[in-house]
């Protein structure tokens, strides 16, 4: 194996290139028009264009990939995840051309790629399966009929779906009908297969998966488990390995069933068997992903095994060099998926130029897998993932603390991102205790995320940090008093304090008599500052405002206005602007493609009614009416591409 073509993009393409380079193997990148300046193109030894920006005109077009293979002379292909990674026809074509597919064989991909067939195979292999119906759902009426037989709540799933696409939970007939339509549409759009089936939805479950690895010499191992229960809309957000819920006996049972299934379908390479787990520790087969998983780094962190390297070695015909007994668990690892999406606007996708992109320092405790760079673009055409942040610790709490610190030090400017939300989850008491499920986000943030509220202790810390920053900027421009009284308004609450510098330390005295000593580490012009209060480090990201700062720390976003006491008194007489009423004119919450308009001008609608469907970053999003009214004007047509805040519909 001399040269590997990576039939993918973004962070996973960069990830494969790193291991191939370590093994002395040349790499070839492919890219769409949108990705011509991407990091994976820069990193590879060679790169070839494969078509327009939409993935169904580039990365999903087999002929374009084959042309790049011919031009480059690549003798192997790594598919990454998504796109063609589980496409049996692509795998077969490569085999016929004498090109090695770094992944499982055609038989295994076919067997596990069809979720209906895979459940039957799992049953025969002695694997626990979820109750449900394996018949293909014909239409909305049939979906309602089968859902009633299985019993609500149910999960409607595209047979070829994956990665959270083509999956909808239904709790009544209306949701079953709508879920069928959405799941089948996404299956058709992203996997060219609109077949769906229905199974029982396990209430408040955990999502736990087993990493398997098999060679062509009959060796099949499991590399422990990953907990992937923190999900939003069936898309994983935070993962960890191992799981705090899994006992040694349960780990062995799940691992052995995963191995049984892998052997039953003749599996080789790395793969993942996913299970849904009940509160009583009962577990049921969900699906098998016949590819590398997004969350594979946490398994690498606790086992010390490079999964991409093992995939390459297995594809070269080598036998695994270790046994099941040698696969241990060293410490704990967590992964946070950093997405270009706005958690303050319902986690809607965001696009644009990465004006500022500075991940935290990488060391033995912190790893960053990314496919972007400062100045690059986050495109509308692909998944909104910006990076994967992985941390390691001796135990779960150490890994969690390291993750929180790393998130505070992850700087992104340009597109909106979900770092505040990730930090909030990691610091939530339920997450800290390990009492989580796939319903965690829905249960704890039923009305969406609006930031972490400040308590009195944190309000003082934010006020002190803002005062220190203001003093630092003031000192650059003029001579400031040795001691100065200030009022810091943190989210409309006044904190009176005085500040003075003493031997490189800022002494902050609050009106109630409390004193705080802060050693700071920051430079004016840099948008991150770390303060030490004698026991702990506190890292703030900030933007300078006219009279203070916009501060971020630990999932808390706050405006801290710094004024002299007299100026603060006068400021309270200033009138506040009235909020804009968005009920009448509905604006696009994200950039996207208008797929379907479901109302007409003159229609009367009720609050919550579906108005149109907008596709953005591979997901269909329903835009609903915020209030009762009549459709006055429709500004868009099906097929239109719209930007964020573009007018869609006006109501009266």
Q: What's residue 581's pLDDT?
A: 58
447 found inside a domain: no
pLDDT of 617 strictly over 70: no
- pTM listed for this prediction: 0.83
Same domain, 313 and 217: yes
pLDDT of 397 strictly over 70: yes
Among 200, 218, 233, identify where a domain stops: 200
Is residue 578 very low, low, confident or very high in pLDDT (cuts 50, 70, 90)? low
CA torsion sign, 431 to 341 to 302 to 77? positive
Question: What string of H, E and C letters represents the secondary structure of 451-512?
Answer: CCCCCHHHHHHHHHHHHHHHHHHHHHHCCCCCEEEEEEEECCEEEEEEEEEECCEEEEEECC
Same domain, 319 and 224: yes
For the domain that residue 631 is a member of, what is the CATH number? 2.40.50.100
Same domain, 368 and 324: no
For the domain that residue 37 is a member of, what is the CATH number? 3.40.50.20
Q: What's residue 220's pLDDT?
A: 98
| Active site residue ranges | 287
Q: What's residue 520's pLDDT?
A: 77
Mean pLDDT lowest among 207-221, 311-325, 400-414, 571-585: 571-585
Q: b/e per residue, 536-571, with b = 16+ CB within 10 A? A: eebbbbbeeeeebbebbbbbbbbbbbbbeeeebeee
The pair of structure tokens assigned to 496 is 């009176």
Same domain, 374 and 412: yes
Q: What's residue 582's pLDDT?
A: 56
Q: b/e per residue, 398-434, with b = 16+ CB within 10 A? A: ebbebbbbbbbbbbbebbbbbbbbbbbbbbbeebeee
Same domain, 522 and 594: no
365 found inside a domain: yes
446 found inside a domain: no
Range of the domain at 511: 456-571
pLDDT of 49 strictly over 60: yes
For the domain that residue 344 is a member of, what is the CATH number? 3.30.470.20
Determine the length of the chain.
Answer: 652
pLDDT in tens, 62-111: 999 999 999 999 999 999 999 999 999 999 999 999 999 999 999 999 99
Total number of domains constituting the chain: 6
Q: What's residue 58's pLDDT?
A: 97
For the domain that residue 506 is a member of, what is the CATH number? 3.30.700.30
Torsion of CA 643, 644, 645, 650, to 10 degrees: 60
More confident residue, 608 or 368: 368
pLDDT in tens, 251-306: 999 999 999 999 999 999 999 999 999 988 999 999 999 999 999 999 999 999 99
Q: What's residue 585's pLDDT?
A: 85
pLDDT of 533 strictly over 90: no
Same domain, 350 and 306: no
Q: What is the mean pLDDT of residues 513-538?
A: 84
SS3 assignment, position 139: coil
pLDDT of 360 strictly over 60: yes
Q: What is the mean pLDDT of residues 121-135?
A: 89
Is residue 163 very low, low, confident or very high in pLDDT (cuts 50, 70, 90)? low
Among 312, 330, 348, identify where a domain stops: 330
Q: What is the mean pLDDT of residues 324-338?
A: 98
């Amino acid at each position: 194996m001399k040269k590997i073509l990576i039939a993918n993009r973004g962070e996973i393409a960069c990830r494969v290139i790193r291991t191939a380079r370590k093994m002395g193997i040349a790499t070839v990148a492919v890219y769409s028009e949108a990705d011509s300046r991407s990091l994976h193109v820069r990193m590879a030894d060679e790169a070839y264009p494969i078509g327009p920006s939409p993935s169904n005109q580039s990365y999903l077009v087999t002929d374009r990939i084959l042309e790049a293979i011919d031009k480059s002379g690549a003798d192997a292909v790594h598919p990454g995840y998504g796109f063609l990674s589980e496409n049996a026809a692509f795998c077969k074509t490569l085999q016929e051309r004498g090109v090695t597919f770094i992944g499982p064989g055609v038989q295994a991909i076919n067997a596990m790629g069809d979720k209906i067939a895979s459940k039957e195979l799992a049953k025969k292999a002695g694997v626990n399966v979820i109750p449900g119906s394996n018949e293909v759902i014909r239409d909305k009426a049939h979906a309602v009929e089968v859902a009633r037989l299985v019993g609500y709540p149910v999960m409607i799933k595209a047979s070829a779906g994956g990665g959270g696409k083509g999956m909808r939970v239904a709790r009544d007939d209306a949701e079953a009908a709508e879920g069928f339509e959405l799941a089948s549409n996404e299956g058709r759009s992203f996997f060219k297969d609109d077949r769906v089936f229905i199974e029982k939805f396990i209430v408040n479950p955990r999502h736990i998966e087993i990493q398997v690895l098999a060679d062509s010499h009959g060796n099949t191992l499991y590399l422990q488990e990953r907990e992937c229960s923190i999900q939003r809309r069936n898309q994983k957000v935070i993962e960890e390995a191992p799981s705090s819920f899994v006992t040694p006996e349960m780990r062995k049972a799940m691992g052995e069933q995963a191995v049984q299934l892998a052997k039953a379908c003749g599996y080789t390479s790395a793969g993942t068997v996913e299970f849904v787990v009940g509160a009583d520790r009962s577990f049921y087969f969900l699906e098998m992903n016949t590819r590398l998983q997004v969350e594979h780094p946490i398994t690498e962190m606790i086992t010390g095994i490079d999964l991409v390297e093992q995939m390459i070695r297995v594809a070269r015909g080598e036998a695994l060099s270790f046994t099941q007994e040698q696969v241990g668990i060293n410490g704990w690892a967590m992964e946070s998926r950093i997405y270009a999406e706005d958690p303050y606007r319902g986690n809607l996708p965001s696009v644009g130029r990465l004006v500022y992109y500075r991940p935290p320092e990488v060391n033995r405790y912190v790893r960053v897998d990314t496919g972007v760079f400062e100045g690059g673009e986050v495109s509308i055409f692909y998944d909104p993932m910006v990076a994967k942040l992985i941390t390691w610790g001796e135990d779960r709490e150490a890994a969690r603390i390291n993750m929180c610190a790393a998130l505070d030090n992850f700087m992104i400017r340009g597109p909106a991102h979900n770092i505040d939300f990730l930090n909030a989850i990691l610091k939530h008491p339920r997450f800290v205790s390990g009492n989580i499920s796939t319903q965690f986000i829905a249960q704890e943030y039923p009305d969406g995320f609006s930031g972490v509220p400040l308590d009195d202790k944190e309000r003082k810390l934010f006020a002190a940090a803002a005062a220190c920053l203001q003093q630092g900027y003031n000192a650059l421009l003029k001579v400031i008093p040795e001691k100065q009284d200030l009022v810091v308004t943190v989210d409309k609450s006044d904190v009176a304090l005085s500040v003075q510098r003493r031997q490189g330390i800022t002494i902050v005295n609050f009106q109630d008599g409390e004193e705080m000593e802060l050693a700071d580490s920051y430079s004016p012009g840099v948008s991150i500052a770390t303060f030490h209060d004698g026991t702990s480090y506190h890292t703030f990201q900030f933007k300078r405002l006219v009279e203070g700062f916009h501060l971020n720390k630990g999932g808390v976003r706050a405006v801290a206005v710094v004024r002299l006491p007299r100026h603060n008194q006068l400021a309270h007489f200033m009138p506040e602007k009235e909020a804009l009423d968005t009920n009448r004119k509905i604006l696009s919450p994200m950039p996207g493609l208008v797929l379907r308009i479901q109302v007409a001008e003159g229609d009367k609608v009720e609050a919550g009614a579906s108005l149109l469907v907008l596709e953005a970053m591979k997901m269909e999003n329903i835009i609903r009416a915020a209030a009762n009214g009549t459709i006055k004007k429709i500004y868009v047509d099906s097929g239109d591409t719209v930007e964020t805040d573009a007018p869609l519909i006006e109501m009266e």
